[in-house]
Amino acid sequence: MHQDKALFVIDAQESFRQRSYFREDEFLPYVARQQALIDGAKTAGIPVVQIFHVDPSGPFSEASGHVRTIAPLKLEPDVTFRKTRHSALVGSGLDVWLTEQGIRRIIISGIRTEQCCETTTRHASDLGYLVDYVGEATLTFPMTDATGREWSAAEIRARTELVLAGRFARIATVEEALAGEHKDIAA
């Protein structure tokens, strides 16, 4: 069966464990939802696209050995891309692959919620793709703003979903992203 949609698993890589901000507290719930999304996509015949972020040095460099799927996530992608920018669609060849495959709908998941997942969502929407943003299958970490206020991962996820909803994506659960037709987003 030909699918017109694909699942993106963005930056779900061991590199993040090497960062000082990495926290385990929301990690296992993320892995459970991410795994359910991956497994559901495989069952439905939706191509799974794994995207790794790579940098010339540090824990995101190929030489570090950390540019691999974060454990305990189990993932056998249909195709893998490497990116050097926040959007998975910049300089990775992913946009060409999507066009060649006839894919017009994208399901977004991965690490970090407000960074590469949000940026890829906005970029994909601007390119005309229909996007399901599955916040429960994204992970981020607390951040401190310029005033010294710490924003929890839950607050960052809520803010990200707020600004994407209805403009750039449909905010969907794992089950909604796997099951339904995507309604066009109003401009």
- Enumerate the domain spans of the chain: 5-179
Structure confidence at residue 187 (pLDDT) = 43
Whole-number Å distance between alpha carbons of 58 and 180: 40
What φ, ψ does residue 126 adopt, rounded to 5°?
-65, -25
Tokens of 58: 């540090």
pLDDT, mean of each 10-residue run, the chain (187 residues): 86 96 94 98 97 97 97 97 98 96 97 97 98 98 97 97 97 93 53
To the nearest 10°, report the CA torsion of 174, 105, 7, 166. -40
Whole-number Å distance between alpha carbons of 183 and 160: 20
What φ, ψ does residue 55 adopt, rounded to 5°?
-125, 165
Nearest to 186 by CA among 163, 165, 162, 171: 165
Structure confidence at residue 184 (pLDDT) = 53
Structure confidence at residue 161 (pLDDT) = 98
What are the angstrom distances between the C-alpha of 47 and each of 1, 17, 79, 131, 178?
11, 27, 8, 15, 12
83: helix, strand or coil: strand
Structure confidence at residue 132 (pLDDT) = 98
pTM of the shown model: 0.94
Tokens of 42: 């495989």
Burial class of 102 by CB neighbour count within 10 A (0 to 12, 13 to 18, 19+): exposed
Nearest to 157 by CA among 85, 89, 108: 108
User: Which CATH code for domain 5-179?
Assistant: 3.40.50.850
**DSSP strands (E only) in the chain:** 5-10, 48-53, 79-83, 105-111, 130-139, 143-144, 150-151, 170-171
Contacts for 17 with CB less than 8 Å, ≥ 6 apart: 66, 70
